Chains A and B, each alone.
Chain A
Amino acid sequence: MRILEVNDLDAGYEDLQVLWEVNMRVERGEIVSLLGSNGAGKTTTLRVIAGLIRPFRGKIVLKGREITGLPSHQRVALGLSLVPEGRQLFPMMTVMENLEMGAYTPRAREKLEDSLEWVFSLFPILRERRNQLAGTMSGGEQQMLSIGRALMSRPELLALDEPSMGLAPKLVIEIFRTLERMRKDGVTILLAEQNVKAALDISDRAYVLETGRIVIEGASSELALRDDVRRAYLGM
Chain B
Amino acid sequence: MIEWGLTYAQLVTSYAILGGVYALTALGLSLIWGVMRAVNWAHGDLLMLGMYVAYWMVILSGADPLISALIAFCLLGGLGAILHLIAIEPVVEKPGGHEATLLTTLGISLVIQSIALILWSPSPRSYDNIYKSIYLEYAGIRTSLAEAIAFSLSLIAVFLVDQFMRRSRIGKAIRAVSQNPIGARVVGINVSRIRLLTFALGVGLAGVAGVLVSTFYPNIRPLAGYIWDIASYVVVIFAGLGSIYGVIFAGVAIGTIEGLGSIFFSNAFRNILTFSVFLLVLLLRPQGLFGKAMRRV
Contact = CB atoms under 8 A, between A and B. Distances in A.
Max count, chain B CB within 10 A of own CB: residue among A51, A93, A101: A101
Contacts of A72: 185-186, 188
B172 A101 contact: yes
A81 B186 CA distance: 7
B297 A135 contact: yes
Contacts of B295: 91, 135
Nearest to B173: A104
A134 interface: yes
Nearest to B185: A72
A91 B179 contact: yes
Interface in A66-98: 71-73, 76-77, 81-84, 86-93, 97
A51 B186 CA distance: 9
B182 A84 contact: yes
B187 to A, nearest CB: 5
Interface in A118-152: 134-135, 142, 149-150, 152
A50 interface: yes
A91 B297 contact: yes
B176 interface: yes
B176 A93 contact: yes
Contacts of A90: 175-176, 179-180, 183, 297
Given A14-B95, A92-B292, A93-B179, A87 B187 contact: no
Given A97-B172, A101-B172, A89 B180 contact: yes
Contacts of B191: 73
B183 A84 contact: yes
B187 A153 contact: yes
Interface in B153-186: 169, 172-173, 175-176, 179-180, 182-186
A198 interface: no
A163 interface: no
Given A87-B297, A134-B297, A142-B297, A73 B190 contact: yes
B186 A101 contact: no
A134 B185 CA distance: 18
B134 interface: no
A83 B187 CA distance: 9
A149 B180 contact: no
9 contacts: A88-B180, A88-B183, A89-B183, A91-B295, A92-B294, A93-B176, A101-B173, A150-B187, A153-B188
Interface of A: 14, 50-52, 71-73, 76-77, 81-84, 86-93, 97, 100-102, 104-105, 108, 134-135, 142, 149-150, 152-153
Given A84-B183, A135-B297, 7 more contacts: A50-B186, A87-B297, A90-B175, A91-B294, A104-B187, A104-B189, A108-B188
